[in-house]
Structure 1
Amino acid sequence: MNKTKKLVSFILVFAMAIGIATCTQAASREEIANIHVSKAGDFKYWADNSPAKQTLVNYVKDVTNKKSANFIPVEDRIAVFDLDGTLICETTPSYFEWMMYLDRVLDDPTYNASPEDKDYAKVVKAAIDARHLPEDMELKEAIAQSKAFAGMTFPEYENYVKKFMETPAEGLTNLKRGESFYLPMVEVVSYLQANDFTVYIVSGSDRPALRILVDGIMKIAPNNVIGTDADILASHQNGKDGLDYVYAKDDRIIRGEFLRKNVKMNKVSNIAQEIGKQPVLAFGNSSGDASMFQYTIINNKYKSDAFTLLCDDLDRELGNQKKADSMAKSAKENGWVAISMKNDFKTIYGPEVKRAAAQ
């Protein structure tokens, strides 16, 4: 083969390789599940010079060193993570559970929502489209969402969540909602678990939905997931109080109506009630996590820290600079460690996931 033919062959092979690379989709759930970080050198998705990553690595090395004055026994190595905006995207164009609620009320042909429920879902959709969520909408939406799925058995709800996980993450290309985990933060969870930290998710989202979302992605047991709760009933309970009803052999567990929204101080209350120990590490991204941060670092008998994720990447993510600036200011005032998605993350979902062109 002469030099010209060799050159042509090389160009063709290179072009094919480029073509394959550019067709690559986001990391699959299976690929995300295979992320493993046990030591500092294993991180792939963080910028090499990230000060936030180095702060975390230094912390872990210190508190896991038996010779250190800051050594923390394994049983007390508790780390708590928010979900939306901390481990998974919350802006496609809104929280996973909010978008699933709209799908249920406005687009599910098997669900006969009342005119009032449809009207409120349209109000929520309009607020999401306008990128302006009134402060009281968080609680109202949680109540409406619980109502929309009330009466479903747990297998039915699981199937609905898994189906919705397959829908495209709006505003980003090559990404499904169930794959929209931040790869660098999945590395953090893996790193902590490899160093004998017990990781909990403490989120404002629906607890059963969280368990389904996380299952198969991170090694977090269902009982280590704390979220917003709806009532849980027997299928033949028919409004009877649980003190007056005995579960029957033909009963099945079904979802009921709203109980409690797990945000702000409620996160602290639920951590104290369900974990029974003060965390030593906390990760979040918004003012809704402030109480969890403060509970972690104030009056802790162990060395502790709080990390807040800044949504400051407007190119690779659907960021919000105003919110990022506000959280950066809060971090500086309160002694939290700020993580810049723009500067600290080498990638977020993988190089083939990009912002979709504006419509």
Structure 2
Amino acid sequence: MTLPGWRDGHAKEAVLEFVRRAVAEVPVEERVAVFDNDGTLWCEKPMPIQLDFILRRLAAMAEADAALRDRQPWRAAYEREYGWLATTLDEHYAGDDRNVRVLAAGILAAYEGITVEDFEAQSERFLREVKHPTLGREYLRCTYAPMIELLDHLAANGFTSYIVSGGGRDFMRPISNEVYGIPRERVIGSTVALEYRSDEHGGTVIHKAEADYLDDGPEKPVRIWSRAGRRPLLAAGNSNGDMAMLNFAQRPGKPSLRLLLKHDDSVREFDYISGSEQALKEAERQGWTVVSIRDDWATVF
């Protein structure tokens, strides 16, 4: 049975019809699909998973240095002031990045000087061991089963899929192949600046306390083109930050599919539209396929 986790209806039929057309009309090398991660492939509430990872590091820094406890974002992490963090993310999606810059400065400082290997080891251990605060399952088990089915269905039909996330590229890489069937070289995400340091053991690459790029909004199509060298046929997202990527998934004369995931299931997951208001309006205007977690998915995790 194809896509068993999807209920029969418009969304499932749109996916199946798109794949049928793509296989019939598009050469395999042009079958490219791109997926946001937070809120599209795995759960992002009550906060993005990577933010939990970072907050634990900031709290540890504040525990060791009392002077940090009066400064954001260390204060929010140390005092578990999650309201400030939620407001900061809402402001970002509304176009106000003043507090996001404050948060970003703390994030950059949190892992300054760490090697890329050590960072990946810490992130992988966190994802395997730490449980979601309300769902009670390990973070790696907070991926959406219907989206995994979609990735598998696309792969079986000659598609090459990429993760294109505002989250950290190197945070996702250690588990991307195991969880999504997407190899690490097809993970596109935000990153800090990196620096190579030579030594007698072949040298290493370390994190610098400088931003490189934030893979969100209009930056997503740029990064897709830079990495894949192709315009995707399918794009899936869930927020205002994914609008440019979904718009980019258009090829004149070729089948295309823009999927916008709607979080409207308070029983099995979460019910919210904050951060996706503009995207939902654009979906209606352009005829994107809106996927309702409540109505279109027979299972969630």
TM-score normalised per structure 1 = 0.74
Hey, what's the Cα distance between the residues in 1 that align with 2:14 and 2:33? Answer: 15
Alignment pair present for 1:215 and 2:168? no
2:151 to 189, 200, 210: 189
CA displacement, residues 269-311 of structure 1 (integer Å, 9 cap, x when unaligned): 11121211111100000010000111112x5342212100001
Alignment map for 1:210-249 (pairs within 5 Å): 210-235=172-197, 247-249=198-200
Q: Judging changes above 3 Å, is the alpha-carbon distance between structure 1 residues 321 and 203 closer, same or farther for their aligned structure 2 residues?
A: closer
Amino acid at match of 2:18: Y
2:112 to 130, 150, 153: 150
Cα offset, 1:321, TM superposition: 4.7
Hey, what's the Cα distance between the residues in 2 that align with 1:206 and 1:336? Answer: 27
The answer as to whether partners of 2:130 and 2:139 remain within 8 angstroms in 1 is yes
2:238 to 261, 268, 285: 285
Hey, what's the Cα distance between the residues in 1 that align with 2:101 and 2:164? Answer: 17
2:134 to 163, 171, 181: 171
1:342 to 274, 280, 294: 294
Q: Judging changes above 3 Å, is the alpha-carbon distance between structure 1 residues 117 and 130 closer, same or farther for their aligned structure 2 residues?
A: closer
Q: Judging changes above 3 Å, is the alpha-carbon distance between structure 1 residues 157 and 287 closer, same or farther for their aligned structure 2 residues?
A: same
Counterpart position of 2:87: 132
Amino acid at match of 1:168: K
Hey, what's the Cα distance between the residues in 1 that align with 2:273 and 2:105? Answer: 30
Q: Judging changes above 3 Å, is the alpha-carbon distance between structure 1 residues 330 and 121 closer, same or farther for their aligned structure 2 residues?
A: farther
Hey, what's the Cα distance between the residues in 1 that align with 2:9 and 2:275? Answer: 21
Cα offset, 1:217, TM superposition: 1.1
TM-score normalised per structure 2 = 0.87
Hey, what's the Cα distance between the residues in 2 that align with 1:317 and 1:208? Answer: 26
Aligned residues: 289
Counterpart position of 1:354: none
Cα offset, 1:171, TM superposition: 1.7
Counterpart position of 1:85: 39
Alignment pair present for 1:60 and 2:14? no
Q: Which moved more, 1:313-322 or 1:79-88?
A: 313-322
Counterpart position of 2:227: 274
The answer as to whether partners of 1:87 and 1:185 remain within 8 angstroms in 2 is yes
Counterpart position of 1:202: 164
Counterpart position of 2:266: 314
Hey, what's the Cα distance between the residues in 2 that align with 1:334 and 1:310? Answer: 16
Cα offset, 1:203, TM superposition: 0.4
Alignment pair present for 1:120 and 2:73? yes
Percent of aligned positions with the same letter in both sequences?
A: 27
Cα offset, 1:121, TM superposition: 2.9
Counterpart position of 2:58: 105
The answer as to whether partners of 1:105 and 1:111 remain within 8 angstroms in 2 is no
The answer as to whether partners of 1:105 and 1:121 remain within 8 angstroms in 2 is yes
CA displacement, residues 198-246 of structure 1 (integer Å, 9 cap, x when unaligned): 00000001110011242311221211111001122124xxxxxxxxxxx
